[in-house]
Amino acid sequence: MPEATQGKQPTITPLRVVIALCLIAPFVAMLWVGSYAKTEPLLAGVPFFYWYQMLWVLISTVLTVIAHRLWRLDQRARKGSEQR
C-alpha cells in the first residue's frame, strides 16, 4: 500500500452516508410533487397539499439538526484519530 494512503480514514463512511440521506430526503420529498398533489385528507380544514409541505418544513429542520450534530461528531472523531 502506498505510504500516502496508510493511516488515512476513508472519505465515505456510513456516518457520512446517513448525513447525506438526512439532507437529501427533504429535497426528494418536495420534488416528487405527484405524491402530494391532492386535496384529501384535510387536516383542520387545510388541504393535504399545504399541510404536507408545512410538515416537511418541520421534518427538514429536525433532519438538518441531526445532520449537523452527526457532522460535528464525525469531525471530532477525525481530529482525534489524526493526533494519534
pLDDT digits (tens, 9 = 90+) for 7-38: 677 788 899 999 999 999 999 999 999 999 99
Give 39's DSSP letter.
Answer: -
* Separation between Cα atoms, residue 8 and residue 39, nearest integer Å: 52
Per-residue pLDDT at 40 exceeds 60: yes
Cβ–Cβ < 8 Å for 71, 19: yes
Q: Can you give the pLDDT at residue 41? A: 95
From the number of C-beta atoms within 10 Å of its C-beta (0-12, 13-18, 19+), residue 19 rates as buried
